[in-house]
Structure 1
Amino acid sequence: MINLQLGDVGHIIQLSIAPVFLLSGVGTTLVVLTNRLGRIIDRSRILEDILQAKGQTTQKPALREELSELYERAHLINRAITLSTTCALLICLVIAALFTGDALDVQLDKLIASLFVAGILVLIGSFMFFLREIFVATKTLTRQRQHGIRD
């Protein structure tokens, strides 16, 4: 039988504030990542159209190289998005476990701690893929600047 008092609910909400703030930050990160993915996709489509156009012989190798780098960036961003989403799901499970454990008077502290640590580790992985994508983007920009390449 569930024996949940108003004071208990208030206490659980206090405990879940930190995970909720983390969830908010992960949501913001997902917005940034999906926006970057959208820009990568848009640029890829432009390059693919240019490469398919008749009579385009100059800069084809450079455009193909940029397109290849865009595919690599999209792959890295996809991994970052996947890991950030996984983090968000794990943090949601933390919040649910906090309420469930207290409402049912079940000891879920080890599960909650494990889910939270797993969420943080997955978030670290997401940031590592994001950072790698930024390095690839910067490398592309530097190469284009050195060679004066732009469509």
Structure 2
Amino acid sequence: MGTFIGVLVNRLSRIVDRIRVLEKKHESLTAEEVNFRYIELALLGRRLRTIYIALSCEVSCGLTVGVIIASAFIDAIVSINLSTWIAGLFVLAMLAFISGLAAFLREIFLAVQSTRASMRLEFF
């Protein structure tokens, strides 16, 4: 999960860097290029929000797994039955993990869409 969070943070930083580059390059552009920049910025904004959702889900999953591990140790040491609590937390962790993966997949689709749009502009 840590590696996956690292991948998401890397993608997030690349999106932020691209937004900064696009926001600086508005002088000496044709009207068509300016319009394409606005479209690309809008798409990058959607990607940014989607990565943020994926990161939030994956970090929530990681925190929940930490609570599960702590609960399991408390259950073993104090001899109270926390099995229902641990099972519920596990289900929540898996839902957060699946949601993060789904958001990541959506961001990949948005990235491919932006690449196709830029290829159309270059070749036509």
TM-score bin, normalised by smaller chain: over 0.9
Instruction: Name the counterpart of 1:92.
Output: 66
The structure 1 segments of at least 4 consecutive aligned residues displaced by more than 3 Å after TM superposition are none
Partner of 1:47: 22
Task: Tell me which residue corresponds to 1:57.
Answer: 30
Pair 1:127-2:86 in alignment: no
The 2-side partners of 1:146 and 1:47 are apart by 18
Q: Is 1:38 matched with 2:50? A: no
Aligned residue pair count: 122
Unaligned runs of 5+ in 1: 1-25
The question of 1:72 aligning with 2:46 is answered yes
What is the rounded CA distance, in whole Å, between the counterparts of 1:29 and 1:48 in structure 2? 29
2:119 counterpart of 1:145: yes
- Are 2:122 and 1:115 aligned? no
More helix by share: 2
1:148 is paired with a residue whose SS is: helix
How well do the aligned residues superpose, as a CA RMSD in angstroms?
A: 1.1
Q: Aligned residues: percent identity? A: 34
SS of corresponding position for 1:125: helix
> TM-score if structure 2 supplies the norm length?
0.94
User: Deviation of residue 146 (structure 1)?
Assistant: 2.1
TM-score, scaled relative to structure 1:
0.78
Q: AA paired with 2:107? A: E
